[in-house]
Structure 1
Amino acid sequence: MGTQPTIIAVLVGTLFAVSGTLATAPVQAAEPTSDLQSADPQTSDKQTSDPQIRVDETLTVIGRSENIPLNVAANVAIIDAAAIEQSGATTLTEVLRGQNGIQIADSNTGAIFAMRGFSAGQAANNTLILLDGRRLNNIDIAAPSINAIPLNQVERVEILSGSAGVLYGDQAVGGVINIITKAPEGSGGSMQLSGGSFSTYEGRGDLFGAINDKWRVYGAVSYNQGDNYRKHNANETTSILGRLQYRDEGDSFFVEGSYYDNHRELPGALSLDQFKDDPTQATTQVDSYMHEMTSAARLGIKHQLTQHWQLAADVNYSDTLTTGLNTWSSTRRDSRSLLELNPKAVGTFTTGSGELRLVTGLDLSRGESEFSSGRSNEQKQASAYVQATVPLTEELSYIVGGRYAKVEDELVDPQAYASGVELDQDAHGLELGINYRPSRSQRFYLRFDENFRFAKVDEQAYTSANVLGLDPQTGYSYEAGWDLTLASHTLRVSAYRLDLEDEIVFDASAASPAGGSFPGANVNADASRRYGVNLDWDWQLSQAVQLGLEYHYIDAEFTEGLNLGKALSWVAENSGRAYVSYDISDSLQLFAEGVYTGERFMEGDNANQDPKLQAYTLTNLALNYSHQNWLASLRVDNLLDEDYVSAGYYSAFGSGYYAGTGRNLRLSVSYRF
């Protein structure tokens, strides 16, 4: 967002703020820190002496250490608590749609977020999703469960557009989305009830308190049920979170547990004629459903070792069981678990030219998955990284870093690898960047990042008979950008190019594995190239009116092989978002936005055989009312009830379409105590 918020946004942000959460002021915005963050007194209280310039001093962990967005040589955006409340959004999908060029696919089971020109089938493996810095991406191709994070737990969302191969390694190819949860330090809580279209009902609550001046507790719970837009697509979803945290000067500690339960009916894919006739209909002939249950535990510690060095470590464990009945009458009982250890050291040194920052650490993980088909997999990853931000002058700094990663896969598949197979692979990344701030109001940056991703375990277990293990996907990202931040305007412009080799995709025309149960196989595809331009502008027109505009252009095509020059499927060349926020009074605010997604080829139509899917614009409207500790919000998504394809998969024998949600109204009432 980046500009001065409207009056109502300040009121809303203040209404839901507690000590340690977001505070918004007309000239300066300061963000809270998460469990492993602490404000830097040398940066968090800065103000510019020029009243015409507003410098966003928001702290961010996108660089795996506390920093300021304008000091990071990358395209970083932050959606803060005030912006979330201002939009009236009720889910993270609504918050992220259209932001920073994010394109969404949803096969009526949950959203997948694509950045920098990836198809829906690849997005879950090339966009890294973090929760307080913890990976939500799985070791198999299943997409992260974003629905497991209700908005009452979210403090802000950080978005890094572009690859982050050094900082985060595997899968951080198109971008990184880091969701920061609340870490309140006072005592209080909130309750929210909402209901709306498609028999949707939801209740949320959180409670927090101080045991003493160092120990605090936080808990949150949510329950949602609804029939959803399509028939036979009802869901029942529960989320529970509990956290105990300690903070004393430079030291902090937390332990956290969470549980997520989602039962959802599966309506099946539609043919084109069925989609045109009635996009709400279900096509499955059986009582198909999916039931996902995830338990997770986290532990983190941070210690200020010396004046210059800070040590930190996270231990994360998650366990998921998914049961269900597929649309083709096949039962499933799949399980996965992931254990991670992430120690790191952050060094900060003052030089005559500015602050030198060094971040180094290890990422260690061990994941297991078992499928009802008899397939079982184990994957171990170990990597080391280092990144340095070095000041040359007070205005100019450069960033340099590197990562080395190694992966070991143990795969068993009763059809493809009945006796099992072991694979060992490695990859590396390199980062170079320049950040130039000629004034406090603007900065220029140049950035190069070498990225990679390893094949997921179920991708490695389903390759053509003559292929024993897919090569790691590698890529090179180049980007240049300019940011301008004034009292009433913010403007961000960037241009990039992303080249990929050995891109890991599923090819329906490839030879199946020996004994394979369905056509096609996972392959290292022909080389591809993506380049694009991003424009993001926010304008505080008056104290009551705020405007915003985003435009994103992507040219994505194959650069080798049979599809040379063909457009990559499911990538809209043009997309954008525009919004307006208007304070009708001190208590009443109107928010309206339009999210545009341009024409694109159906997912998997790499030869560009069929006509493109039609472009569409979703018009969303919210009316927010605040009074003392109360907030009421009426939001309407897809106000014009436009029919659109939210996900689709190409086949020469008949493609499958999934309908996006029609007009959706939601009324929410919240109380903070």
Structure 2
Amino acid sequence: MKNLKGFRGKYFSLAAILALNATIALASEGQSVVDNEKQLYTPKAEASSETTEVLEESSAPVVVISKKIKVSEVGAPFASEVYNKKEIEQSHSKDIYEFLNTQTSVTAMPSYGNPFTQAIDMRGYGLGYGYQNTVVTVNGRRLNTIDQVPQLLSSIPIDSIEKIEIIKGTGSVEYGDGANAGAINIITKDYEGAVVKSYVGDNGLWFGSLGVGVKEEKFSISGYIDDYSHNGFKQVSNDGTKDESWNRNKSIKATVTPIEDLSFNLGKTFSKMNVNYSNSLSYAEYKNDELDKIKGYSNQYYRSDVLNAGTNYKINQKLSFDAQLFDEDKVSKYTSGGYRSSYDYDYKSFDTKLLYNDTSVKALIGVQGFNGERDSGNNETTKENLGVYVKADYLLDSHTFSSGYRDEKVKYTYKSSTQNLESDTSLQAYDLGYNYKINSKTSVFTNFNHSFQAPDIDRFFNPVYDAFWNIIGTQFNGFIKPMQADTINIGFNYISYPHTLKGTLYYTWVDDEIYYNSLSGYNTNLKETEKKGFELSERYQIFSNLFTILNYTYVDTKIVDDGSGGLYNGRKIPGVSPHTAKIALGYNPIKPVTLLLSQTYKSRAYAIDDFDGSYGKMESYHVTDISATYTYKNYEFFAKVNNLFDEKNAMFVDFGGATPSVYPINYERTYMVGFNARF
């Protein structure tokens, strides 16, 4: 590993901040000739699940709450981040995980080395379990799983995405189970014409995709196909096996509008992926730069087959009805050393809502259902959720009042040749929000949200062992309780060219936070924890050819009462970096050329599951990327260097050993070059 002296990543962070302050001081207030899509972009109404409505400020950017109630970004009574397709394309991220980790307030890291199912964290719930406290949807379909496997975002090609919305510290009424930190909504685009993209890089990186679509007055059809492969960074087995991977996705969707106020939609998505990833290094091996040492590997194969269908009917000018059905068949095969597992998943869900939309009142009643089943061949385990909710926004001059309530029932079953177990619970969520528009560009808001998380099936059922530690059965976990959180947000928005500036202060009280206690060997609860923090984001068009982006988060976590005698009282939640900063500087030296320099920094944090802090804080995370894009008519050529300064980064995990286990991540410089063409 090359160890650069002098101008390393942490100094680049400081230099970038100083440069940002200096350029702001020199900024011109003149009108930019660069297209500022953040200000001009208004998402198209999608007949599948969105009701068209007229906003007071037609040019204002729009936040769509799971495509249920639409509000202007400056008028939203909650904290949010919105990223449109131009910003996503401009980043030249390989996948959605890279975009989230480098461009947003969300942290994403390969889960124990697996790049296809990455752990995500938002608002201090930790890389260990943060993904279970954030609901992720794609076109309204819930991606959260019923067990301890993160959301499979690798099945969503980043080039198919129209918009990403991050709703923070709220959303439990609309999304239900697991929305303690908030929600990430991903909306894919409809292709019109054809789009071709391809890139290559070091270590055998190759990607190719094709998107095509036709749009007529009463009919549209759109689809894509892509293929990703990587030969791997290093040898992971003595037989010559490398940490190679491949991922293939296909999708097609169609919308029919037989009459003006009625539409039907139908879609099919198919994904396959396979990855070898190295087992962990010891801490000594990591410190000694033995990152290429052969440690054995795990193999993960996924197949996901999704069918969705729905309808939207505009009953009159104020009332509309929407119903969406989803059916996913998923297969997971995992091998690690002598351990093998094979699971078949069957996820069926629906989302129906009746929406009322008037000038001053916007309200909806919704019913959502999710039935998840996991079959291992020897046993069948299910988790069923059924939620009913109401939500309303009331607009009075410059004031927006928002309120909502949800009741959700959760049922568990376990069936084997010898056992048949059942259990159920009922949980509630509610939300109150207020936004005051000081003027058309500036607003302040506050929000109070009560949320919950029902345990997944891996936490709710414990194996029963014999005297020789062989599994002889399964029992309900009497040590686990549903998790509940109360969050208060206070923030401001200033959205007017050349600024998009947002800030939020928040405080969260959590009862019965779910975690794995390595001392007892059980999944159980921390009786009381708290999280408080500050979020700041700014996009500033300094000159017509120069812009900056800053995304900074601070979070402080504390275990108030561990519920187990006070061993962990006063400790931090592990896997949470108190400070995260993401800075970018974009420059157009000439009109067709865009240069983008970005830096991601995460401060030192305790290793995942190191609740007693026995290892101390681990190393911080630094990555600097640079890209160049040349555009000519409908053609785009780009090049990107990741980890420009060859920094060494890793995920650290407490498996109960004398030192942490280490999974190297972004530990060497990589590059890629490619093109994009539209016809």
State TM-score, norm by structure 1. Answer: 0.89
- Specify the SS of the correspondent of 1:94: helix
Paired residue for 2:350?
A: 341
Q: Which residue of 2 aligns with 1:42?
A: 54
> Does residue 376 of the first structure (1) align with residue 380 of the second (2)?
yes
Paired residue for 1:161, among 168, 171, 190?
A: 168
| Aligned twin of 1:471 | 481
**Cα deviation code 1:69-113 (max 9, x no counterpart):** 223211111111111122222211221114442122213212221
Alignment CA distance shift 1:572-1:5 (3 Å): farther
1:67 paired to 2:71: yes
User: Does residue 545 of the first structure (1) align with residue 546 of the second (2)?
Assistant: yes
What is the deviation of 1:213?
1.8
Q: Which residue of the partner structure matches residue 50 of structure 1?
A: none
Q: What's the CA shift for 1:542? A: 0.8
Q: Distance in 2 between matches of 1:170 and 1:535?
A: 27
Is residue 566 of structure 1 aligned with residue 571 of structure 2?
yes
Structure 2 portions without partners, runs of 5+: 1-26, 236-241, 465-474
State the identity as a percent: 18
Q: CA deviation at 1:436?
A: 0.7
Q: 1:275-294 maps to which residues of 2 (within 5 A)?
A: 275-278=286-289, 280-281=291-292, 283-285=294-296, 288-294=298-304
Kindly report which structure 2 residues correspond to 1:241-260, keeping only aligned pairs within 5 A, or say none: 241-247=251-257, 249-260=260-271
TM-score (norm 2): 0.88
1:404 paired to 2:439: no
Distance 1:545 1:455, change over 3 A: same
Q: Structure 1 residue 479: deviation in Å?
A: 0.5
Alignment of 1:339-488 (within 5 A): 339-350=348-359, 355-371=360-376, 374-391=378-395, 393-412=396-415, 419-462=419-462, 467-468=477-478, 470-488=480-498
Query: Any conservation in 2 of the 1:9–1:86 contact (CA below 8 Å)?
Result: no
Q: Which amino acid aligns with 2:165?
A: E
Partner of 1:152: 159
Aligned twin of 2:674? 668
Shift of 1:323: 1.5
Q: Is the 8 A contact 1:155 1:182 kept in 2?
A: yes
**Do the aligned partners of 2:251 and 2:268 also contact (CA within 8 Å) in 1?**
yes
Separation in structure 2 between the aligned mates of residue 253 and residue 139 of structure 1, nearest angstrom: 29
Q: Which amino acid aligns with 2:678?
A: R
* Partner residue of 2:630 out of 592, 614, 625: 625
- For 1:180 and 1:629, how far apart are their aligned partners in 2? 24
The yes-or-no answer on 1:235 pairing with 2:238 is no
- How far did residue 466 of structure 1 move? 8.7
User: 1:43 is matched by which residue type in structure 2?
Assistant: L
8 Å CA contact retained: 2:652, 2:660? no
Quote how far apart the aligned CAs of 1:427 are: 0.4
Match of 1:298 in 2: 308
Residue 521 of structure 1 and its aligned partner are, at CA, apart by 1.6
Give the AA of the match of 1:331. Answer: R
Residue of 209, 218, 231 corresponding to 1:214: 218
1:330 is aligned to 339
Superposed CA deviations along residues 516-560 of structure 1, whole A, max 9, x for unmatched, are: xxxx12112231100000111121111111112121110011010
Are residues 1:31 and 2:43 paired?
A: yes
1:118 aligns with 2:125: yes
Letter in 1 for 2:588: D
1:174 Cα deviation after fit: 0.9
1:311-344 deviation digits (Å, cap 9, x = unpaired) = 0011001111111321x31122111111001110
Distance in 2, Cα, partners of 1:545 & 1:441: 22
Distance 1:39 1:90 in 2: 32
SS in 1 for 2:570: coil
Alignment-derived partner of residue 274 in structure 1: 285
1:656 aligns with 2:661: yes
Residues in 2 aligned to 1:403 and 1:215: alpha-carbon distance in whole angstroms: 36
The offset of 1:485, in angstroms, is 1.6
Q: After the TM superposition, which parts of structure 1 deviate over 6 Å for at least 4 consecutive aligned residues? A: 3-9, 463-466
CA RMSD, Structure 1 to Structure 2 (Å): 2.3
CA distance in 2, matches of 1:496, 1:26: 26
Q: Could you say which residue in structure 2 is the equivalent of 1:489?
A: 499
d(CA) in 1 for partners of 2:486, 2:164 = 26
User: In the alignment, is the contact (CA less than 8 A) between 1:8 and 1:589 conserved in 2?
Assistant: no
Moved more, 333-342 or 85-94: 85-94
Q: Secondary structure at the match of 1:67?
A: strand
Letter matched to residue 264 of structure 1: V
The letter for the 1-side match of 2:271 is: Y
Deviations 1:469-521 (A, max 9, x none): 732111101110011122211211110011111111111112xxxxxxxxx12
Q: Is the 8 A contact 2:170 2:182 kept in 1?
A: yes
Bigger mean CA deviation after superposition, 59-68 or 109-118: 59-68
What is the aligned partner in structure 2 of residue 129 from structure 1?
A: 136
How far did 1:250 drift? 3.3
- Aligned 8 A contact 1:229 1:280 in 2: no
C-alpha distance in 1 between matches for 2:33 and 2:132: 38
1:621-673, CA deviations, whole angstroms, 9 ceiling, x for partnerless residues? 11011101111111111111110113533423442211112212111211111
Distance 1:44 1:222, change over 3 A: farther
Unaligned runs of 5+ in 1: 11-23, 48-55, 511-519
Q: 1:267 to 1:5 in 2, by over 3 A?
A: farther
* Alignment match, 1:178: 185
The match for 1:602 among 607, 610, 613 is 607
Partner of 1:321: 331
